[in-house]
Amino acid sequence: MKINIPTMLTWLRILLIPIFVGAFYWPENLRKLSAMPSHEVNVFITVVFAIAAITDWLDGYLARRWNQTSAFGAFLDPVADKLMVAAALIVLVEFGRVGAIVALIIIGREIAVSALREWMAGEGQRSSVGVAMIGKVKTTVQMIAILFLLFWDDIDLGALGVFPTQLWGHILIVIAAFLTLLSMAYYLKAALPKLRGQ
């Protein structure tokens, strides 16, 4: 396994997962798991998740720019992404910030599309189910929604008023779930000729 900066960033993203999940269960929250975390905990978790999300973009960008792509990196990167999103959604469900159905749609799609890509790769046609624009839009909306829902508290913008992160987090996560279904349909359609052949 060749270690380079993009791969290290991917590993960092994985290592950040237990940190932002564990912060929800800091001693003050262990007294009552259904209690809402404090504002400070929300801010900390949001910052940690934001750092992880930035590494998601940065590791791929650096790997391409520095020509440091590898088979292991191509395997590890999507695994890290899915672990990060799944962990965040599960915690958000537990604290009542996301509906279980929305979380199941998003996590289920990630598992299904990953399995589809692995199968298509085994058939030598991975490129036909490569990342499409709708998938990128879905990921962007999903990440912003999760950040809002992790932060949770409204943001005081002074003279501009108050930005309702809860409201926009809920709106965007529903949009992300809808885009999730659309993107899954897109990938299934792309793989349909091969599926029919089986």
In the 3-class helix/strand/coil scheme, how is the chain assigned residue by residue?
Answer: CCCCHHHHHHHHHHHHHHHHHHHHCCHHHHCCCCCCCCHHHHHHHHHHHHHHHHHHHHHHHHHHHCCCCCHHHHHHHHHHHHHHHHHHHHHHHHCCCCCHHHHHHHHHHHHHHHHHHHHHHHCCCHHHHCCCHHHHHHHHHHHHHHHHHHHCCCEECHHHCEECHHHHHHHHHHHHHHHHHHHHHHHHHHHHHHHHHC
Between CA 32 and CA 198 the distance in angstroms is: 52
Predicted TM-score (pTM) of the model is 0.86
Q: Which of 83, 60, 195 is nearest to 136 (CA)?
A: 60
Say what the pLDDT of residue 21 is. 86
**Residues 137 and 73 grouped into a single domain:** no
Domain that holds residue 187: 97-198
**Residues 192 and 112 grouped into a single domain:** yes
pLDDT at 132 over 90: no
Say what the pLDDT of residue 91 is. 92
pLDDT at 139 over 70: yes
145 in any annotated domain: yes
Q: Output 62 or 2, whichever has higher pLDDT.
A: 62
Confidence of residue 113 (pLDDT cuts 50, 70, 90): confident
Q: At what angle do helices 71-94 and 100-122 cross, to 10 degrees?
A: 160
Average pLDDT over residues 158-179: 91
- Choosing from 58, 84, 110, the residue where a domain stops is 84
Phi, psi at residue 26, to the nearest 5°? Answer: -60, 155
pLDDT at 116 over 70: yes
pLDDT digits (tens, 9 = 90+) for 51-98: 999 988 888 888 888 888 777 777 788 888 899 999 999 999 988 999
Say what the pLDDT of residue 31 is. 45
Please check whether residue 20 is in contact with residue 83, taking contact to mean a CB–CB distance below 8 angstroms.
no
* Mean per-residue pLDDT over the chain, rounded: 83
How many folded domains does the chain comprise?
2
Average pLDDT over residues 123-150: 82
**Residues 110 and 185 grouped into a single domain:** yes
**Residues 141 and 67 grouped into a single domain:** no
pLDDT digits (tens, 9 = 90+) for 3-23: 788 888 889 999 999 988 888
89 in any annotated domain: no
Say what the pLDDT of residue 176 is. 96
Say what the pLDDT of residue 169 is. 96
Between CA 14 and CA 11 the distance in angstroms is: 5
pLDDT digits (tens, 9 = 90+) for 142-166: 999 999 999 988 887 777 778 999 9
The residues, ordered by sequence, that sit 6+ positions from 139 with a Cβ below 8 Å of its Cβ are 81
Say what the pLDDT of residue 114 is. 81
